[in-house]
Amino acid sequence: MEVGMIGADRDDVQSSKFKNYKGEDGKTDRLGLVFPDEAYANGKKIYCGTKIHFEQKTKKYFICKSTDTDKQICCTTPYSGNKNSWRLGAVVVKYNLVKEDGKTKLKGWEVLPWAFSENVYNKLKKQDGKFPLNKFDIEIEYKKQGQFLNSEITPCNDSIWRKNPELMKKVLALYPAALEDVKGNLAKDLNIEEIKELLGIDTPGSQDAATDVSIGDVLDGV
Ligand SMILES: [Zn+2]
């Protein structure tokens, strides 16, 4: 396509980014976890995840830099979020279901990236044990408890998107891009210097150098 001048009234110029799926207090959503059959057959690799920290003041998630044998500054500095935890993600299809004449009808659907805590992961894992996520949708209900949004997950009796071959094709076509979005948005991948800055740790710089070298030594060398 050629580069052209564009007016301010085009409505087909959109960000290719997906919105993230988010639960709301007092709401219940029906979702289907989206993944190709091979991913499920191959060790149920249907989630992505990383260890993260949460910085309270800026409310930022960032990826933990430690390994099993090498603890980094994100874990060793004292601050409220220094204990790392898992943050996970998956791709979901969210259905817009409407009751009409006593029947439930599918009025629309959206494929969305979904990021969640280890708590939700364990609930999904538990359901998958009894109601496999490649055959059953989930219903997820949100209720605020204190400052946290608690979620209750229950199985639905089938998988809407997998039952309809046309819908399945469309949903799976959106899956790879949505999965990349999940991976890219779980947490910020900061480098050590950026983590120090976020946590307000002084970085060794000119001040430290000045205390190690006396002015006389510096002048002698000139
Ligand atoms: Zn860490």
Give one DSSP letter per residue of 140-172, joined into a string: EEEEEETTEEEEEEEE-SS-HHHH-HHHHHHHH
**Is 89 strand, coil or helix?**
strand
pLDDT of residue 31: 98
Cα-to-centroid distance, 89 and ligand 1 (Å): 19
For 59-77, the pLDDT digits (tens) are 889 999 999 899 999 999 9
pLDDT band at residue 206 under the 50/70/90 scheme: very low
Length of the chain: 222
Mean pLDDT of 134-153: 94
Report all structural domains of the chain as residue ranges with CATH numbers, in order of start: 28-200 (3.90.198.10)
Report the mean per-residue pLDDT for the chain: 88
Percent of the chain predicted with pLDDT > 90: 71
Best CA proximity match to 64, nearest among 40, 82, 45: 82
Best CA proximity match to 123, nearest among 88, 93, 148: 88
Cα-to-centroid distance, 74 and ligand 1 (Å): 4
Does the pLDDT value for residue 210 go beyond 50? Answer: no
Cα-to-centroid distance, 85 and ligand 1 (Å): 9
Which of 133-137, 169-173, 201-205 bottoms out in mean pLDDT, i.e. has the lowest? 201-205
Q: How far apart are CA 36 and CA 59, in angstroms?
A: 33
Cα-to-centroid distance, 69 and ligand 1 (Å): 12
pLDDT of residue 3: 83
Cα-to-centroid distance, 190 and ligand 1 (Å): 11
pLDDT of residue 59: 86
User: 3-state secondary structure string, 18-44?
Assistant: CCCCCCCCCCEEEEEEECCHHHHHCCC
pLDDT band at residue 204 under the 50/70/90 scheme: low
pLDDT band at residue 15 under the 50/70/90 scheme: low
Best CA proximity match to 162, nearest among 170, 152, 154: 170
Q: How far apart are CA 92 and CA 18, in angstroms?
A: 12
Does the pLDDT value for residue 213 go beyond 60? Answer: no
Cα-to-centroid distance, 27 and ligand 1 (Å): 34
Per-chain residues with Cβ under 5 A from ion ligand 1: 64, 66, 74-75, 84
For 128-142, the pLDDT digits (tens) are 999 999 999 999 999
